[in-house]
Amino acid sequence: MVINRGDRISGAAINLILVLVGVVSLFPLLFVVSMSLTPYSEVIKNGGFVVIPKSVTFEAYKYLFQTKELPQSMLVSLFTATVGTAINLILTMLGAYSLSRRTLHGRKVILLMIVFTMLFNGGLVPTYLLIQSLGMLNTVWALIIPSAVATYNLLIMKTFFEGLPEELFESARIDGAGELTVLIRIVVPLSIPSLMTVGLFYAVANWNSFFSAVLYISDPNLNPLQIVVRKLLLLSNSVDNATDDVVPTPTLQMASVIIASLPVLVVYPFIQKYFTKGVLIGAIKG
């Protein structure tokens, strides 16, 4: 294959554009990390804008982790992100598999009712009264159960299941396998990309849970990470930032952003290939 001059120029231009896009995408993250590690004197000296700090300090992280609420809130967020995501995936998978079977009686009516929830909901007050009547106020389950199944994720997984070869299901049923066996032994192994994609959506949503905690949680020991970070930021506004002896507000803000974002940043590279494949398959099949 001969590559002419025009192809080389276009290839170089594409690579340059991709490099620029990568730099633009990574610059905000670099700025946040740098600001969280920069002493306040250097922040002032550089006019509040530091990309590569000349000296490094971990005072902001020490300050945040020395508070009583932060470790407890991280455990709450970790619980909702793990147990909550597991519940989300199980319920979504069961619902999506059932709705993907064309032999399900009343399938169209059920689908219509589910899609209807994407357009209308019961309202904030009725939802709060429902959670209260179920006895879930001031419990971690109030952060998990109300959003146990997301309609959009359900439809993505349903579309993926519909794209699986029907012959596989027929062969399994001929061999005497029930629906649960077909789901566990055939559908789940073939649906790893879709499960990873939907699982990432759920995990990020559970980790970033904020509004549900504002509504349903009043016990400080049950506040998730996002609530505590916000509280710390609001309290830090009253701190005198005139010296290096006090952790400055901008540094606290950036450190809290890193703490809240780090788990997602660490996990995402390991499931990126599943995420891309799952989104594409869910989009073009069915």
246-283 tens-digit pLDDT: 566 777 778 888 888 888 888 777 777 666 655 555 44
What is the model's pLDDT at position 243?
40
Give the pLDDT score at 84: 93
Task: Please tell me the distance from the alpha carbon of residue 94 to that of residue 89, in angstroms, as a whole number.
Answer: 8
- Residue 285's pLDDT is 46
Could you please state the CATH topology (level 3) that the domain comprising 58-284 is classified under.
MetI-like fold (1.10.3720)
Structure tokens at 17: 């554009």
Cβ atoms within 10 Å of 222's Cβ, excluding its own: 18
Tell me 220's DSSP state.
G
Q: What is the pLDDT of residues 225-247, one digit of tens each?
A: 888 888 776 765 554 444 444 56
Give dist(CA 286, CA 275) in Å, integer.
Answer: 18
Which pLDDT tens digit goes with each residue over 40-88?
777 677 666 777 777 788 888 888 888 778 888 889 999 999 999 999 9
Burial class of residue 126 in the structure, from the number of CB atoms within 10 Å of its CB (0-12 exposed, 13-18 middle, 19+ buried):
exposed
Q: What is the DSSP letter of 243?
A: S
pLDDT at 284 over 50: no
pLDDT score at 246: 57
pLDDT tens-digit series, residues 83-142: 999 999 999 999 999 898 888 888 889 989 988 888 888 788 888 999 999 999 999 999
Spans of all domains in the chain: 1-57, 58-284
Nearest residue to 194 via CA among 114, 265, 115, 276: 276
Query: For residue 59, which of 188, 257, 244, 228 has the smallest C-alpha distance?
Result: 244
pLDDT at 267: 79
Q: Which whole number is the average pLDDT over 8-22? A: 87
Looking at residue 286, what is its pLDDT?
A: 42
In sequence order, the 6+-apart residues with CB closer than 8 A to the CB of 219 are 138
DSSP single-letter state for residue 68 = S
Query: What pLDDT does residue 235 have?
Result: 64
* H helical segments located in 38-68: 40-45, 59-66
pLDDT-based confidence at residue 177 (cuts at 50, 70, 90): confident
* The two structure tokens encoding residue 136: 């879930």
CA 266 to chain centre: 12
